[in-house]
Amino acid sequence: MTVKRKLAWTLVASVLAALLWLIAAFQLFHNPPQATPQRTDAIVVLGGMSSERLPVGLALREQLGIKDLVVVTTGLPANAGSDEFCEAHDGVAHLDCFRPDPLNTRGEASRLRDLAAERGWESLTVVTSDYHVQRAGTLMKQCIAADVYMVGTEPELSPVGWVRRFVVETGGLLDVWIRPEC
């Protein structure tokens, strides 16, 4: 086989692999399987993208009559709405706000595991962005003994933004599968 032919086959195989990854990433992160919202013991709004996540979490809480609300704070610009909500509602009954340590999804899952055990929660509805449902849901279910129902919100991302999220979430999902502990 000539060098040109090997390069051509390598290029074709690379393009096919990239296309297959893009199709899989689209299904996993743009169009993930989600739970039908139902009454659970608590609603959890994960940190980041609070402008899309917090309104959905608050609406679900009201729609389903769920008493307990957990909101993650981060101090980061993308989470300003949730941070401000927690500051404005400090001390309100049935509202738990926390900053995870470490400041990532593993930190959120670890703290939620403890909070669910302390409160005796048997089920949680976790609100996050569509692209984050698969990875966050996998991690939450690995860490939390309660039933976890993931609800995604629709982010406004450009095609390039979606590809970036696909790359980040693919790496994150692989990490959660390789290192499943909290």
Tell me what pLDDT residue 103 has: 94
Q: Which of 36 and 167 is assigned the larger pLDDT?
A: 167
Predicted TM-score (pTM) of this structure: 0.88
8 A C-beta contact, residue 81 and residue 87: no
The C-alpha atoms of residue 143 and residue 112 are separated, in whole angstroms, by 8
Q: Which two tokens stand for residue 46?
A: 């994960």
Q: Return the C-alpha torsion angle 88, 90, 96, 101, nearest 10.
A: 90
Give 56-85 pLDDT, tens digit per residue: 999 999 999 999 999 999 999 999 999 999
User: For a pLDDT cut of 90, what percent of the chain falls above it?
Assistant: 72
Return mean pLDDT, the chain: 92
pLDDT value at 19 more than 90 = no
Sequence ranges of the domains in the chain: 29-178
How distant, in Å, are the alpha carbons of 32, 57, 98, 171 from that of 154?
11, 13, 24, 21
Instruction: Check if CATH label 3.40.50.620 holds for domain 29-178.
Output: yes
